[in-house]
Structure 1
Amino acid sequence: MPPTTSLFSSTAKSPATPAFSVAETRFSTSSKRYRESTHLIPTPPIDKNGRPQRYDPPYFWIPVAVGTPLLMLCLGIALEVGIELSEKNGGFQVPQRNVFSIVSTQFLLSFFPGLFVLPVGYLWRSLDWMLRWFQPYVVMSWGNATAEESVLLDYIALGPVKAMFRALKYNHRVIFWSSFLATSTYLYQSLAGSIFQIQTRSQISYNTAQSVRALGLDPDVAQLNAFAAAAGYVQAAVFNDLGDPPFVINGWSTAQFVFPTDTGLNGSMTVNTTAVQSNPNCSDPNATPQFTLVDTTSAVITTSSVDNCIANVTIDPTVSEQQYGVANVPNCGPARNETFQQVVFWFYQNLNNSTSPQLATVFCNPSMALYQVMASADLLSGQLTNVTPLNEYTTPNNVSGAPINSVPFNAVIFDPSTNPFVQARANGTHVGVPGAIFRSALQDGLDSVFSLPNGFLDKTSTIYRQHLAVTAKSIYFVNQNSTLKATESSLVIRLFIDPLPGHVLAFLLFGSGFLGVFLHLISRRQRRNLYITAPPGTIAGAVALTARSGFGELLFPYDDMPALEKKLEGLRFYLDKRTGAILAEDYEDTYEREVANGRDEAMISLLGRREVNLSSTQLAQEAAQEVAESDPKYGYGQHLSPSPLSSRPLSRTSSETGL
C-alpha cells in the first residue's frame, strides 16, 4: 500500500519522496486576511434519492404560504358581503334570549369574533417571521452581499416594526411589505371585537290569530259574577294604581284573541276584530243638591240632572260622617227595568254635624256601541295599546238585538234576588263602585275634590267607564273560536355589522391577502437558488455553514457589534453552490488599510494572503493534484501536467506564507 502523505507535515513519510514542506502547501483562501478550507469539504453525495433534501419549513409549503393570504382575501370579501346583507336585511336573526346564561351578550360579541381572526393573524405573522428569518441567506444566495445585509442582519431581533425601516434601507421590498402587513394584523382582534352590534328593531309580519270570543250575551249574566268581579277590579285599581286589564282600554272592550307563544317577542299584534265601546255619559246636576233632614235618623238628598230628571236619595246621617252610594233614576227617559236605567252617584261628608253638609252628585246614563275595529295589543303584557274603529258592527246578535237591543246594563243596580249569593254580589257591586270613586277622592284630598266644580265628575267618569268596560268584556262576549287577520309588529333582537370597523377590517384582510399572494410567490422565486439542509437558526446550523469559511478567524467571541462591523467591512458574502457554505471575498484592498491602522503584521502573515479568488471546486482540484504529485504510483519527483484551473504558481516560499 503506498505511503500516505500529510498535506500539513513539513516532510513526507517516504524517504524517496521529495520533501513537501509547509512552504509548498497552498491554502484555499479568497482573502488576504484569512484562509478558508471549504475545498476540504466533501461534495454532498448523490445517491438514488439525489442530494440531501433542502430544508423547507412547513410555512413555506405552497398550501400554507399561498393558502393563508388567499384565505384572508376570501374572508375580506365575505365580510364585505356580510356588511351589505346586514344593511339590506336589517341585520341577522339571533336567539331572542341569550342561550349562554353564564356570560353576557357583550362578551360573546367581542370575544368570539376575535377568536375567528386569531388563526389568520397568527399564520400571517408566522409567515412574516419565516421570511425575515431566511432573508439574510436569500441575499447571500444572490452573491456579493455586504455584511450589513447578510451575516450582521437579524430581522427577527428587530421585530416587524423596526424591520420595515431596515428593509427600506436595504431595498428589501418583500420584507418591508410582509412586516407592514404583519404589523397590521394586530388590529384584527380589536376591529373584530367591535364590528358586531345587537339592536332592537321592529319586524312586521302578516299572519293570522285565533280569536276565542265573539259578540253575544253571556247566558249566566243573571248570576252577577261579571259585575262583582268588575267592581272588585276597579277598587283594586284605585288602591294599587292599576291600569286597564287585558283587552280593555279607555272604555273599549274587544274580543279576546290568542297571542304568539314566542316569549322573546316584545312588540305588538294588530287584529281585525269586534269591540264594544262603553260610554258612562256622566254629568253634574243642573243645580246644587239639597239636603233635607227629616228626623234625627233620616235625611233626603234631592238632586236634578241636566235633563230635569229628579232623584231623591234617603240616608241616615247618624251612621257615618262620610257616606256614598248610587241609585237609579226612575221616570227619566224610556221606560226600562231599573237594571238599565240611568243612575246617580252621591257623596256626603259632614265632619261638624252641620245642617249644611258637603254634597256632590253625578248623573250617568251609560250607552254602548258595537264596532268592527283594528285592535293593537302588546305581546308581552297582553294590554291593548290602541283601538281604531273601522265601521259599525251590523251582524244581528242578542246584544245588538233582543233581549237588550244595544241598551247596556248600568252594572250597579240590580233586581232583588232570592238567592243570597246573587244578592250578596249585587250588594257588593252596588257599594263597591261608588266606594272606589270615594276612595280615589280621599287619596287626592276629599275637601279639595268637594270644592272643585267637576271634582267628582272626573273621577266618576273615569272609574265608572272602567267598570262598564270590564263588565262588557265578560257579559257581551261568549266563547267562540274564529280566525282573524293579524299583523305582528314585533320588537326583535337583530345582529348588525357596524359598517366603519367592518369596512376597515375587510380592507385589511383583502389587502393583506391580495398582496400576500404576490409576496410569497416572489419570495419563493427568490429562494430558488437557496440550498440549506438544516434550520439556520440553531448554533449548530450556523457553525456548519461557516466552520470552513475562514472569515471567522477575524472575529473574537467578545467583539461587540461595532467591532464586528469594522472587521467584516469590505467583505462580500455568498453561498457556495457546491457545498452551501457561507463564503466571503474581499471587495476592496483592506489588507493595506489594516496595516496602516497598525494591524499585527505577524498575524496577517500567519493568515496568509491570496492574490487570485478561486471557487472551492477549483481549490479542491488543486489540492488533490498536489497530493497526487507526491504519490509513488505517479513516479518520484514526477508531476502531472499543470491543471488549466491552476493559472498561478503551485507553491509559495516560506517568506510568502510566513511559516
Structure 2
Amino acid sequence: MSTTKLRPRTAMLSDSPRFRESTHLIPTPGIQEDRPERYEPLILKGWVVSAIAVVMIGLGVALEAALSVSTKNDGYYVPPENVFKFACTQFLTSFIPTLFVAPLGYLWSVTDWMLRWYQPYVTLSKGEAPAEESILLDYIALKWGISLKSLIEALAYLHIGAHCDCCDIIATTRWIYLPSKTGRSNSNTIATTTTVVGLLPTVVQLNAFLASAGFADAAVYNHLPDPPFVYGEWASAEFLLPSQDLANGSVAVNTTAIQAEVNCANPASLSLSVLSGGNVSVSATSSDGCTKNLTLNSTDSEQQYGVVNVDNCPSSNTDPAFQPVMFWFFHTGVNPQAAGVFCRPSIGVFNVTTTTNLNDGSLTNVTIVSNYTSANNVTGSPLNGRAYNGVVFDPSSDTTIQARATAINSGVPGAIFRFATQLPNGPQPTFDAPNGFLDITYSVYTQHLALAAKSIYFIPTTGFAPAKLTSQVPRLLVEPLPAHALAVLLIVIGIIGLALHTIHRRLRRHLRLTSPPGSIAAIVSLTSRSGFGELLLPYDDEKSISQKLTGLTFRLDGRTGAIVSEDDGGGFKYHSDDVATTLFGKHDISYSNLTLDSPPFKMTAAEP
C-alpha cells in the first residue's frame, strides 16, 4: 500500500459534541510564521526582582544600624526651626522615613498584580485544568476588598505563588512608618553672674526682711511657689538666664548658695496656766535647755500668735537679731490651748551646682559641690557665720525701721497661723496634732529666711561661671520594638520575595505569551479558534458560565499557544468526511490509515 504525504496541518480536533474548534487552522509559529518574542513584564525580570529584594534586605540592615546609632546618641538631630517654610518639622520627620518603604510596597504591589495576572496561564500551561482553576479564576478582582477569599482560593488550588506574594504585599504595606520623638540637647556655655556672697550694707533697714515676710504671707494666701533663685532652704547667687528661646529647657550653673536652716523643734515641755483677770501663762522648755515664759490676756482675742527671742539659751548670742526664737500660738476654743515651736536658725555657704528652669526661672535642684572658702564678711567678720533669725531685731530709734520690725514680727507668725486656719476644720486639728504647728512653721519660716538670705547675704557684682544648657529639642528617635519588627519584615520579605519569584520564574518557563495578558484583544487572540466560546452568550452571568463550562478541562496548545479545551475523559478523533475534505482537499482517503506525528504535524494515507 502506498502513501501520499499531505501538507503540515493539524487534523486533531476536540471530540466534544458541544462545539467545534479550529486551532488546526492556526499557522505554526516559527515554520509558517515568524515566532514573536516572548513577552515578560519588566517588573518580573530576574534582575529587577533581585534588585528590589537586595534593596529591602539592605534597608533592613540599615535600619538596625540606625537603631544602634539612635540608641547611642539619643536620637538624631532635627533642626528646632522648620527647614522648609511650607512643611513643619513633625511632618518631615514622619513623612520622609515613609518614603523609604512606600516605594517598595508599591513595587511589591505591582509584582503581586502581575503574578496574579499570570497565575491562570501558568495553570493552563500544565494542562488538564478545570475551568474554576484556570479561565474562571480572577485573582485581580479578588485582590482588593476580598483579599481573604483570594488567600483561601490560592491555598485551595495550591497556587502558592499568588498566596505568598499576597502575604508579602500585605506585610509590606502595613509597616511603612518610623516613629519619631523629642530628646534632650546638652551644650556647654558661660553664665554671667550678678551677685556674690557678701553682707548687704543696708541690712539694718530691714527692707529685705519685710519683703520676705510679705512674700511668705502672700504665698500662704495664694499658694505661691518659691521665687527665682530660691529652692526650699537654698538661696543661690543670681545670674543672667540665656537669651535664646529654649523650649522646656534648663541650665545648670556652678555657683554659690546659702543654706538657711531653721532647726525647728517642738518644746520638750509646754504648760498653760489660767490666771486671774483673763490672763494666761505659757511656759515652754526646749530640748537643749532654753526656756521661755509668756503672759497673755485671753480677752484680747480668741486667736493670738507671735514670736519672741529666747535669751536664756546655753551659748546664746546677746544680740536679739541672732538669738533663737519661739513661735507661740493660742486660742480659746472649747478649752484654752497653746502651742509653741523653738527655732535656732543657721546658715551655711557652699559651692553648688544649681539647675534652673528656663521657662519661669525657678530653681529645680541644688547639689553641693564643696564648702565655700573664699574670704567674705558673711562667714568672716562681722557676721562670722551667724544667721539672722529674721523676725526679732534690735530696738531702733527710727520709727520707720521700728514699724518694719513690728510688721515682720507679726507677719511671719501670722502667716503660720493663717496657714492653719485655711486647713479643713480650721486650726483645731493643728493644735491637736503633735507636729501640727511644727510642720507649718518649718515650711513658712524656711521660705521667709531663704528669700531674705538671697538679698542680705549677697551683694551685686559681675562674674562668670561655667554652665550647661539642657533643652528639649526635636530628635528623631528610632524606637527599638517597631524598628526591630520592621527590619525583620524587610529582610524576611526580601528573601521570601526573591525565592518566590525564582520559583514562579521556573513555573513560567514553558509559558510563551507574546502580549500582555490583560487586554480583551489578547484574550480573544488566545481563544478565538478554541470553540468553547460557542457555548457562552454575552449576557451569561458568572453562575451560567461556570455551569456551561462544567466537564471541560483547559490547557495551552503546545504548538500555537492557544487556549484549547477537552472533555473530561475524552480523546481526539477525526471529524466527518466533509471536515476531512475541508482539511485535506481529497475525498478518497482511508481515515483509518491516517496517522499524526508531533508538530509540525505530518500525515500519510494509503493509496487505493
Q: TM-score, normalised by structure 1?
A: 0.67
1:326: which partner in 2? 307
Structure 2 CA distance for aligned equivalents of residues 433 and 32 of structure 1 = 114
**Cα-to-partner distance string for 1:197-244 (whole Å, 9 max, x where unaligned):** 75x888888776554432112234344332122101221233344454
CA contact (8 A) 1:28 1:36 kept: no
Indicate yes or no: 2:458 matched with 1:477. yes
Aligned CA distance change for structure 1 residues 601 and 504 (closer, same or farther; 3 Å): farther
**Equivalent position to 1:180, from 161, 164, 180:** 164
Aligned CA distance change for structure 1 residues 393 and 88 (closer, same or farther; 3 Å): closer
2:495: which partner in 1? 514
Aligned residue pairs, count? 570
1:226: which partner in 2? 208
After superposition, the CA RMSD in angstroms is 5.3
Structure 1 CA distance for aligned equivalents of residues 8 and 280 of structure 2 = 147
1:36: which partner in 2? 22
- How far off is 1:74 after superposition? 2.7
- How far off is 1:434 after superposition? 1.6
Q: Describe the SS at the equivalent of 1:339.
A: helix
1:633: which partner in 2? none
2:3: which partner in 1? none
CA contact (8 A) 1:313 1:327 kept: no
**Cα-to-partner distance string for 1:177-215 (whole Å, 9 max, x where unaligned):** 45313323213344456x7475x8888887765544321
Structure 1 CA distance for aligned equivalents of residues 432 and 127 of structure 2 = 107
Aligned CA distance change for structure 1 residues 505 and 286 (closer, same or farther; 3 Å): closer
**Equivalent position to 1:573, from 556, 562, 578:** 556
- How far off is 1:435 after superposition? 0.8
Q: Is there any run of 5+ residues in structure 2 with no aligned partner, and where?
A: 1-5, 144-149, 584-590
CA contact (8 A) 1:377 1:383 kept: yes
Residue range with higher mean Cα deviation, 213-222 or 517-526: 517-526
1:79: which partner in 2? 63
1:440: which partner in 2? 419
Structure 2 CA distance for aligned equivalents of residues 26 and 455 of structure 1 = 117
Q: Describe the SS at the equivalent of 1:124.
A: helix
CA contact (8 A) 1:114 1:190 kept: no
2:146: which partner in 1? none
- How far off is 1:395 after superposition? 1.3
Task: Tell me which structure has the larger Cα radius of gyration.
Answer: 1
Residue range with higher mean Cα deviation, 276-285 or 55-64: 55-64
* Equivalent residue letter for 1:403: P
Aligned CA distance change for structure 1 residues 92 and 312 (closer, same or farther; 3 Å): same
- How far off is 1:473 after superposition? 1.6
CA contact (8 A) 2:595 2:604 kept: no
Report percent identity of matched pairs. Answer: 38
**Cα-to-partner distance string for 1:22-55 (whole Å, 9 max, x where unaligned):** xx999853326446366576989999xx987765
Structure-to-structure mapping, 1:162-311, within 5 angstroms = 162=152, 164-165=154-155, 168=158, 176-192=160-176, 196=179, 210-257=192-239, 263-265=246-248, 271-282=253-264, 284=267, 288=271
**Cα-to-partner distance string for 1:246-291 (whole Å, 9 max, x where unaligned):** 443442322235666664447x765543222223344538664677
CA contact (8 A) 2:281 2:293 kept: yes
Q: Describe the SS at the equivalent of 2:556.
A: strand
Aligned CA distance change for structure 1 residues 178 and 220 (closer, same or farther; 3 Å): farther
Q: Is there any run of 5+ residues in structure 1 with no aligned partner, and where?
A: 1-23, 169-174, 619-644, 653-659
1:635: which partner in 2? none
* Equivalent residue letter for 2:557: Y
Structure 1 CA distance for aligned equivalents of residues 209 and 470 of structure 2 = 34
Aligned CA distance change for structure 1 residues 94 and 363 (closer, same or farther; 3 Å): same
**Cα-to-partner distance string for 1:372-403 (whole Å, 9 max, x where unaligned):** 33445566665545545444322111212233
* Equivalent residue letter for 2:345: P
Structure 1 CA distance for aligned equivalents of residues 530 and 166 of structure 2 = 37
Structure 1 CA distance for aligned equivalents of residues 322 and 304 of structure 2 = 24
- How far off is 1:471 after superposition? 0.7
Aligned CA distance change for structure 1 residues 392 and 492 (closer, same or farther; 3 Å): same
Aligned CA distance change for structure 1 residues 505 and 177 (closer, same or farther; 3 Å): farther
Structure 1 CA distance for aligned equivalents of residues 519 and 446 of structure 2 = 92
* Equivalent residue letter for 2:517: P
Residue range with higher mean Cα deviation, 268-277 or 428-437: 268-277
Indicate yes or no: 2:127 matched with 1:145. yes
**Equivalent position to 1:411, from 386, 390, 407:** 390
Aligned CA distance change for structure 1 residues 179 and 460 (closer, same or farther; 3 Å): closer
CA contact (8 A) 1:31 1:586 kept: no
Structure 1 CA distance for aligned equivalents of residues 280 and 155 of structure 2 = 106
**Equivalent position to 1:460, from 436, 441, 453:** 441
Q: Describe the SS at the equivalent of 2:391.
A: coil
Q: Describe the SS at the equivalent of 1:471.
A: helix
Indicate yes or no: 2:526 matched with 1:545. yes
Structure 1 CA distance for aligned equivalents of residues 492 and 302 of structure 2 = 88
Indicate yes or no: 2:352 matched with 1:367. no
**Cα-to-partner distance string for 1:483-516 (whole Å, 9 max, x where unaligned):** 4455678788876555555444433322332343
- How far off is 1:423 after superposition? 5.0
* Equivalent residue letter for 1:69: A
